Amino acid sequence: MLSGQLYIRDVAVRPAQILAPMAGITDTVFRRFIKRLGGCGLIMTEFVSSEGMLRQNLKSKRFLYYTEEERPITAQIFGADPDRLAEAAVMIEDLGFDLIDLNLGCPAKKVVKCGGSGLLRDLPNLENILRKIRAAVTIPFTIKIRIGWSDDEIVAVPVARMAEDCGVEAIAVHGRTRVQGFSGRARWDVIAEVKQAVRIPVIGNGDVLTPRDAEALAEATGCDAVMIGRAAPTNPWIFRQMADYFATGTYQEPMESDRYGLIREYYAMLVAEDIPGSIGKMKQFASWFTHGVRNGAELRHRVQSADSPREVLDRVDQFFSAARDAEPLLGVEQLEEALPEICG
C-alpha cells in the first residue's frame, strides 16, 4: 500500500499520486482542473524543448505558464545537448518551478532524434547531461524514463543507478520500452528491480486504470508513488478515487451528471481564459470526456461540428438538458479501449 505522502527533498507530494506530463494535454487549464477534482499530489507540464526555450519560442513560453494553484509543479524538458539543457534548466528555476524533470521516455520519432527515450542508447552523453543539469540548478531534479529501447536493451537499472550517482532525486519509470510505444503490457517487474537498486524515490507508471491497479502496482514493485498518464483524460476522477480507495478501501464511480459537470466546467475554463485554440481543445477532449455518457457519439458529433467555443457550451447544455436518470460510467474494459496514445 502506498503511503499518504512522498518527499522529493523538501517538496511534499500529498498524496503520492502524480499526473504525468502529456503532450497536448497537460496545459495549465487541464492541470488546474485535475487539482480541483482532488487527489493529485504533483502535476507536471507538457514537455518543453530546451532549444525552443532558449530561442524564446512562443509555444515554449505558453507551455511553461502556471498559476500558484498548481503547486507543487514540475517543469519537464527534453533535449540532447548538455550545455543547452543546463541553460534551459536555469530558466526553469528562475521561473519559480518547484522541481525540474528530464524526459527520457517519449517514444515519438521527432523527439527521439533530439532526446527523449533516444538518450537511453547513449549513456555517456546522458551522464554528462545529468551532471550538467544537476550542477546548474538548486531545485530538486528528477527524471522520467522508459525501461529501455527494446526488449534486448533494457537499461532501467543502470540508468537509475547512474542518475542517483549524478544527484537525481527521484525517478519515474514507465514499464514499457521505446519500441513498444503504448502497446503490450507494462513490465512492473523492471520497476521493482529499479526500486531494489536505488535509494531515491521510485515512481511507478504504466497500466493503471483504476485504484485497484494502483494498489497492485505498488504491491508488485514497492514504488513510492504512482504516476497516471493516459487514464487521466478519460477518467479525471482517478486521483480522487485512488485517494478514497487507499483511505477507506472503497471509491465512487461518477454518474452521468458528474460527467456533465466535468465537461461543462472544463469547457467553461477554456472559454473564460481565452486559451489559444480553445475550440480545438474542446473537440479533442470530447473524444475522451464523453465516454460513459449515454448517446456519447451524438454529443461528440455536436461538439465536433460546432464553430465556436460558445456554441460548444450551448450544445453541451442542450444535450444534457434532456438527460434524466444518472447511470454509472463505463467499466474498465471500455475505458481501456478509449485510452489516448499520448507522449509523455
User: Which residues touch 314 (CB under 8 Å, ≥6 apart)?
Assistant: none
Per the annotation, the verdict on 40 as an active-site residue is: no
CA separation, residue 223 to residues 107, 151, 295, 316 (Å): 23, 22, 39, 40
Q: Can you tell me the distance from the alpha carbon of 224 to that of 239, in angstroms, rounded to the nearest whole number?
A: 16
Contacts of 113 (CB under 8 A, 6+ apart): none
Q: What is the mean pLDDT of residues 315-335?
A: 58
0.85 surpassed by pTM: yes
Name which residue leads in pLDDT, 100 or 269: 100
Among the listed residues 40, 106, 166, 223, the single catalytic one is: 106
The answer on pLDDT for 321 being more than 70 is yes
Q: How confident is the model at residue 3 (pLDDT cuts 50, 70, 90)?
A: low
Q: Which residue's C-alpha cell is 518527499? A: 7
d(CA 292, CA 255): 9
Q: What is the pLDDT, as a whole number, of residue 323?
A: 54
Q: What angle do CA 276, 277, 279 make, to 5 degrees?
A: 130
**Does residue 86 contact residue 135 with C-beta atoms inside 8 Å?**
yes
Binned at pLDDT 50, 70 and 90, residue 20 comes out as very high
Give the model confidence (pLDDT) of 154-210 as tens digits.
Answer: 999 999 999 999 999 999 999 999 999 888 899 999 999 999 999 999 999 999 999
Instruction: Kindly report the average pLDDT of the chain as a whole number.
Output: 89
* Amino acid 59: pLDDT: 75
